[in-house]
Each structure stands twice: as structure tokens, then as C-alpha cells.
Amino acid sequence: MSSWNQAIANIAKQNNMTLDQMRSRLAYDGLNYNTYRNQIRKEMIISEVRNNEGASSHHHPAAQEVESLAQQVGNQNDAKH
């Protein structure tokens, strides 16, 4: 499973939802699951690039970073409604 898919699964779990329930909730909120997933992926990539500036080793974002980014994306989406 890709790291962003795992991040989304973790977000669902933290909200006491299955992945299917999270998809339903996103749809209820007017969000497309694939769009949400791509936003998480992009934020993780941006975070990784920022963290790697000047570093030569490959960095995997910590779970806390992923959760923080996911929350930011969620907040941005909430602000649209």
C-alpha cells in the first residue's frame, strides 16, 4: 500500500471509520475521494521536498507529519463549504 493510501487509512481509523465510511463522508461533504487522495499525496510530496532541501538522503514523512497535512487539507476543504 502506498504511503498516502496508508495515511488516509490511518486518518479514517483515527476518526473511528472504515475506509468505505470515510469515502461516504467525503462524498457527503461534497468531496471526491480521488481528489482528496491526490491532495494528501501532493502535500506529502511537498513536505518531503521541503524536508530534503540540501539533504542527500531519502526521507519518509513521519506519521505525525502526514496526519498534520491531512488535517490541513481537511480544514481547507471545510472552509470551501
Q: What pLDDT, on a 0 to 100 scale, did the predictor assign at position 60?
A: 63
Q: What pLDDT, on a 0 to 100 scale, did the predictor assign at position 66?
A: 77
Q: What pLDDT, on a 0 to 100 scale, did the predictor assign at position 74?
A: 77
Q: pLDDT tens digits for the chain (81 residues)?
A: 677 788 888 889 998 999 999 999 999 999 999 999 888 888 888 888 888 775 555 556 677 777 777 777 777 766 665
| CATH class belonging to 3-80 | mainly alpha
User: d(Cα 75, Cα 50) in Å, to the nearest integer?
Assistant: 21
Q: What pLDDT, on a 0 to 100 scale, did the predictor assign at position 62?
A: 72
Q: Which candidate, 1, 4, 26, places its Cα nearest to that of 70?
A: 4
